[in-house]
Amino acid sequence: MNKQFVGIDLSKAQLDVALHPQTQQWKLANNDAGIATLVEYLKKHKPSLIVLEATGGLERPVAEALVKAGFQVAVVNPRQVRHFAKAKGLLAKTDVLDAKVLAQYGEAMKPEARPLSDEQTQQLQDLLARRRQLLEMLKAEKNRSSRAQPPIRSQIQTHINWLEQHLRLLEQGIKQLQQDNRTWRKKAEVLQSVPGVGPVMSATLLGDLPELGSLSHKQLAALVGVAPFNRDSGRWKGQRVVW
């Protein structure tokens, strides 16, 4: 029996699911009932691998349910899947087609099925994401304040004060979460021994790079996007670039 691969294209409201090399497809609601139905469907087909794109956390409930049910799940970079589709000559983009491409990508590329972040790591990631949002809002409000007339400037300053207060509280929460986890606390001590690395930087590395400590320095550099890759052809030596 041929191995089966599943691709799932997600939106807020809907799951488009494709089975490959069989040509079965389903549309399900992206809610608890729809995810439960998806799990039951897939139990009948026993896929070797299920592939989803990373979509800023939208994929998390589906991936968690599938992993909990015992399936191998790979959450992949959307850019790589899009390049794969272009290489196959598929320039159109629809939810149905995207699900098919994800299943075909799973068969051709065999992306690694990695364990999902645990609940505490996800909590840290959410706090870090919220911190970035507050910093963006602070930057925008400060830029507006410099150009605003006095009455509006006063309102903006009130909002700035509120944002700064909540940013401090958020950073305290990040620091406390880091201290409460014995493993993180030890890693944070090592990270913060490097000049310039403080509680927020160490928490960012622990939350957004959970692979830290399990991959080589070269693999980590490539994963983060700071590893220079060759661009050579024949006698031509191109400039090394990062991706």
Taking only the tens place, the pLDDT of each residue in 108-152 is 999 989 888 888 998 999 999 999 999 999 999 999 999 999 989
Query: What is the predicted pLDDT for the residue at 152?
Result: 95
Which tens digit of pLDDT belongs to each residue from 208-227?
888 888 888 888 888 888 88
**pLDDT tens string 50-81:** 999 998 889 999 999 999 999 999 999 999 99
Rounded CA gap, 63 and 72, in Å? Answer: 10
CATH 3.30.420.40 fits 5-109, yes or no: yes
Where do the DSSP E strands lie in 88-235? 232-233
Neighbouring CB atoms inside 10 A of 49's CB total: 22
Span 41-49, mean pLDDT?
94
Cα–Cα dist 217/195, whole Å: 19
d(CA 234, CA 21): 39
DSSP letters, 105-137, are HHHHH----PPPP-HHHHHHHHHHHHHHHHHHH
Average pLDDT on 169-179 reads: 92
> Rounded mean pLDDT of the chain?
92
Q: Is the pTM of this model over 0.95?
A: no
pLDDT at 232: 85
Give the count of beta carbons closer than 10 Å to the beta carbon of residue 114: 13
Is the CB of residue 115 less than 8 Å from the CB of residue 92?
no
pLDDT confidence band for 1 (50 / 70 / 90): low
Element (H, E) at 68: helix 60-68
Partners of 29 in beta bridges: 14
Question: Is the bond preceding residue 21 a cis peptide, omega within 30 degrees?
Answer: yes
List the chain domain ranges.
5-109, 130-210, 211-243
* Length in residues, the chain: 243
From the list 103, 100, 131, 129, the residue with the least C-alpha distance to 117 is 129
Tokens of 236: 């031509």
At residue 7, the pLDDT reads: 97
CA 117 and chain centroid, separation: 10
- pLDDT of 236 higher than 70: yes
In this prediction, residue 238 carries a pLDDT of 84
* 169 vs 57 pLDDT, higher one: 169
